[in-house]
């Protein structure tokens, strides 16, 4: 019985160590189906998102959902620490009468107490090991506790830096594609003489952004749950707008940067697919089509009115439909899982960009979804 108990403790410790290695240190996608981290996020995000959506709506709902990413990270680290303490506690218990206590004989609760004080390197001295094996366990657990703390200290800054780099381009997209960003608005704002060259440069920058998003979010999947500063912005909305714009240019748009659009579309679509895999979200459909025929005609008329030359006809429609089928099913599923809203192909003209608003302007002049904070709310 002691051997089986010890094997259980060793299995728990190794499971947490390997899971922490894959989550924090290993810089590549993990294809193994069963992972503690994956189970943790699947069993905590879905109840949290359903609870928030049932209790609140609008801005309050978005605020509560935004707490999950940072808070879940702290919970995951605490979960790992608890499992390690429990695993070492089992090993102390399985080692038999190897612990000296000031009172009665050591039970499992005393073993857990010794494990906890050792892991956090408290060194109280009221419960001590009496055998060489138990002493080696305390040394190993104390060293693991210090290593765990060092990983946490190194892990959090890396996450914050990746999040900040992701959000910089999302903020820059505000003046180039609207709030929320849309393909129609992005093309309209690049319609002047040098607009196509600027659009090519923009798509090149977003090709790099998509590659960095893919790399950072495969290494740190928790970043997918970190939400942007504004309610009408998100990494998924920005990626959607870039894919939509690239698809329109590829279909095509005369005089535009078709080759750069193909390159950007390829890496952006690659990011969408791989993130769906890492989050365990299979592609799916939507109750409403993002681009029905009526909206497509309106979109073309909008672009033509802006002075852009757009290709029309059945061949262009079929090519656009085929391109959309390559990425939209993944976007639908990701948006549903993460409780995010996909941007439209063409935005309402009455909505202001985030940069055009201010907390001191009257409520009636502000665009929907970007209400200023009221007195007493946290602000910097």
pLDDT score for 356:
76
Which of 143-152, 181-190, 275-284, 370-379 has the weakest average pLDDT?
Answer: 370-379
Residue 41: φ, ψ to 5° = -70, -35
pLDDT score for 104:
61
Could you please state the CATH topology (level 3) that the domain comprising 2-153 is classified under.
Helix Hairpins (1.10.287)
pLDDT per position as a tens digit, 76-111: 989 999 999 999 989 888 877 667 776 666 678 888
Question: Among 349, 358, 240, which Cα is nearest to 370's?
Answer: 358
d(CA 278, CA 219): 10
pLDDT score for 107:
79
Q: Name the residue with tokens 């657990």.
A: 141
pLDDT per position as a tens digit, 243-275: 999 999 999 787 778 899 999 999 999 999 999
Q: What is the 3-state secondary structure (H, E, C) of the chain?
A: CHHHHHHHHHHHHHHHHHHHHHHHHCCCCCCCCCCHHHHHHHHHHHHHHHHHHHHCCHHHHHHHHHHHHHHHHHHHHHHHHHHHHHHHHHHHHHCCCCEECCCCCCCHHHHHHHHHHHHCCCCCCCCEECCHHHHHHHHHHHHHHHHHHHHHHHHHHHHHHHHHHHHHHHHHHHHHHCCCCCHHHHHHCCCCCCHHHHHHHHHHHHHHHHHHHHHHHHHCHHHHHCCCCCCCCCHHHHHHHHHHHHHHHHHHECCCCHHHHHHHHHHHHHHHHHHHHHCCCCCCCCCCCCCCHHHHHHHHHHHHHCCCCECCCHHHHHHHHHHHHHHHHHHHHHHHHHCCCCCCCCCCCCCCCHHHCCCCCCHHHCCCCCCCCCCCCCCC
Q: Cβ contacts of residue 56 below 8 Å, gap of 6+?
A: 64
d(CA 91, CA 75): 24
Show contacts of 306-315: CB within 8 Å, 24+ apart: 306/187, 306/188, 306/191, 307/191, 308/187, 308/188, 308/191, 308/253, 308/254, 309/253, 309/254, 309/255, 310/253, 310/254, 311/251, 311/252, 311/253, 311/254
Q: Are 357 and 371 in contact (CB under 8 A)?
A: no
Instruction: Find the mean pLDDT for residues 276-288.
Output: 87
Residue spans per domain, the chain = 2-153, 174-365
Task: Tell me, rounded to whole angstroms, the distance of Cα 282 from its chain centroid.
Answer: 16
Q: What percent of the chain has pLDDT over 70?
A: 89
pLDDT per position as a tens digit, 158-190: 888 889 999 999 988 988 888 889 999 999 988
Residue 372 has pLDDT above 60, yes or no: no
Q: Is the bond preceding residue 310 a cis peptide, omega within 30 degrees?
A: no
Q: Cβ contacts of residue 350 below 8 Å, gap of 6+?
A: none
Residue 375 has pLDDT above 50, yes or no: no
């Amino acid at each position: 019985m002691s051997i089986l108990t010890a094997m259980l403790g060793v299995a728990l410790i190794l499971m947490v160590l390997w899971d922490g290695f894959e989550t924090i240190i290993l810089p590549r996608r993990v294809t193994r189906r069963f992972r503690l981290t994956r189970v943790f996020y699947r069993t905590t995000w879905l109840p949290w998102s359903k609870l928030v959506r049932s209790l609140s709506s609008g801005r309050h709902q978005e605020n509560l959902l935004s707490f999950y990413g940072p808070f879940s990270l702290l919970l995951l680290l605490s979960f790992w620490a608890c499992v390690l303490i429990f695993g070492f506690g089992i090993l102390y218990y399985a080692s038999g009468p190897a612990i000296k206590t000031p009172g009665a004989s050591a039970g499992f609760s005393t073993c857990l107490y010794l494990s906890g004080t050792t892991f956090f390197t408290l060194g109280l001295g009221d419960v001590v090991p009496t055998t060489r094996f138990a002493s080696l366990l305390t040394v190993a657990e104390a060293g693991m506790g210090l290593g765990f703390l060092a990983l946490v200290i190194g892990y959090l800054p890396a996450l914050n830096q990746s999040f900040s780099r992701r959000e910089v381009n999302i903020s820059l997209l505000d003046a180039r594609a609207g709030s929320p960003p849309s393909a129609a608005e992005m093309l309209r704002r690049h319609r002047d003489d040098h607009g196509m060259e600027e659009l090519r440069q923009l798509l090149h920058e977003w090709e790099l952004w998509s590659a960095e998003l893919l790399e950072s979010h495969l290494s740190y999947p928790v970043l997918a749950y970190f939400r942007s500063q504004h309610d009408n912005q998100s990494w998924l909305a920005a990626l959607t707008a870039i894919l939509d714009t690239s698809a329109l240019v590829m279909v095509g748009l005369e005089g535009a940067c078709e080759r750069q659009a193909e390159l950007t579309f390829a890496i952006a679509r690659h990011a969408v697919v791989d993130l769906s895999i890492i989050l365990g979200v299979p592609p799916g459909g939507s109750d409403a089509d993002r681009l029905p025929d009526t909206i497509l005609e309106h979109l073309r008329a909008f672009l033509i009115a802006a002075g852009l030359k757009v290709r029309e006809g059945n061949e262009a429609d079929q090519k656009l439909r085929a391109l959309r089928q390559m990425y939209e099913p993944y976007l639908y599923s990701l948006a549903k899982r993460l409780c995010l809203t996909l941007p439209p192909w063409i935005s309402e003209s009455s909505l202001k960009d985030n940069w055009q608003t201010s907390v001191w302007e009257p409520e009636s002049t502000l665009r929907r979804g970007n209400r200023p904070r009221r007195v007493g709310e946290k602000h910097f």
